[in-house]
Structure 1
Amino acid sequence: MSEKYKVIDSTVPTFITVTVVDWVDLFTRPVYCNILDESLNYCIKEKGLSVHAYVYMTSHVHLIATAFDGELQNVIRDFKKYTSKKLIEAIQEHPESRREWLLKKFSFEAKKSGRAKNYKLWKDGFHPVILDTLEKMEQRVNYIHYNPVQAEIVFHERDYVNSSYRNYEEENTVFCNVNVEPLWLLV
């Protein structure tokens, strides 16, 4: 693996993309997004993760994060492992019109890769990009928040529920479901 895809310093804000295998549109139901919220908040509270911005798109998650108490790659590894298990359980337990197809797809990916026992939900890696300047940070925060508008899901960033945009709006009293620490507080 090349150096440009490794986390060199976990205390520097890092842009991360975690993608569902074959870009499957999984995060279309609140139950699945709630699992992501719960897991990120656990990592914040118990693993020293700081989430500075995020968005859950239908097939992937973008984060800007740091980890002061550990290695960022280890926290992301644990996040992916836990959420994979919980998301598969949710697919099996909750009403889901695509249940059979999703489980077959994730089972096929596990067999194909040989790296997972029963199901493989996430693509390998998370493509970290170090944000070592204010310009890079601002560009990626804007990219994350504008992603749902670009995808034509909403007309304005504030209308997308699964994003940290509201934490960046001045005088907004409605915050997102993840305990976000806006980047501007670090600068």
Structure 2
Amino acid sequence: MSRKYKFYNPEGLYFVSFAVVGWLDVFTRNVYRNLFIASLVYCQREKGLELHAWCIMTNHVHLIFRSVKGQPPELLIGDIKRFTSKSIVKAIKENYRESRREFLLDFFKREAERSSNVVGYQFWRHDNQPFELWSNRIIKQKIRYIHNNPVKAGLVYRAEDYVYSSAIDYAGQKGLIADVVVYESYS
């Protein structure tokens, strides 16, 4: 099976999920979540990432996005994954207070050795499950799915109380990432 991301419509609105190798719980630390958020903000400002919904769970991420500056969506997601992989691995290496430091780095190194196209450390799984959103019903369904992930995981009682998602934006307040494009037909 090809590892090439399957984004058929370069102007489409996409739901995408990607996970840390081994489904390791890396995003339990704010420092690593904040590095991911910084990458999203950079891509909004510089690369044409139009972000409609997002959520960072402990071991995976969900996004609803569109590429609006002509960059193919698979390259945009590739840039996000490449940058965050390098920056998070670097942060783990430099964080001597990280109790799982050796375990995480050894695991990422072993995963890279098993992969033919990764050198050093592999942080993200190769798959990202892109799904083009083509109807209002499907868009609403995916937004609810993303925002209810932390509720189903037992992290919060209400989706809008989870800091690391766009649910608060959909509740009429401002979240951690500015310029989230709230889907107007959501309610």
Q: Same fold (TM over 0.5)?
A: yes
Q: What does residue range 28-177 of structure 1 map to in structure 2 within 5 Å?
A: 28-69=28-69, 70-94=71-95, 95-170=97-172, 172=173, 174-177=174-177
CA contact (8 A) 2:150 2:156 kept: yes
Residues paired across the two proteins, number: 182
Equivalent-residue separation in structure 2 for 1:96 and 1:143 (angstroms): 31
Matching residue's letter, 1:124: H
1:136 alignment partner AA: I
Provide the C-alpha distance between the structure 2 equivalents of 1:150 and 1:107, rounded to a whole number of angstroms: 32
Distance in structure 2 (CA, Å) of the matches to 1:38 and 1:178: 11
Structure 1: segments with no counterpart, 5+ residues: none
Residue aligning to 2:24: 24
TM-aligned CA distance change 1:185 to 1:74, over 3 Å: farther
Q: Is the 8 A contact 2:165 2:175 kept in 1?
A: no
Deviation, structure 1 residue 185? 7.6
User: Offset at 1:76?
Assistant: 0.4
Following superposition, the deviation at residue 178 of structure 1 comes to 5.0
Counterparts of 1:40 and 1:166, CA distance in 2? 17
- Is residue 26–residue 32 contact of structure 2 (8 Å, CA) maintained in 1? yes
Deviation (angstroms), 1:36:
0.6
Cα shift at 1:15: 0.3
SS in 2 for 1:184: coil
SS of match in other structure, 2:55 = strand
- The one-letter code matched in structure 2 to 1:127 is Q
Identity %: 40
Q: CA RMSD in A?
A: 1.6
Equivalent pair of 2:108/2:122 in contact (CA under 8 Å): yes
Q: Deviations over 1:156-176 (max 9, x none)?
A: 111111000011113x2x322
TM-score (norm 1): 0.92
The separation in 2 between residues aligned to 1:6 and 1:178, in whole angstroms, is 28
> Does the 8 Å contact 1:158/1:165 carry over to 2?
yes
The AA in structure 2 aligned to 1:84 is S
| Secondary structure of the structure 1 residue equivalent to 2:128 | coil
Cα deviation per residue 1:123-160 (whole Å; 9 max; x = unaligned)? 00311001000000000000000000001111111111
Work out the CA distance in 1 between the residues paired with 2:132 and 2:15: 6
SS at match of 2:184: helix
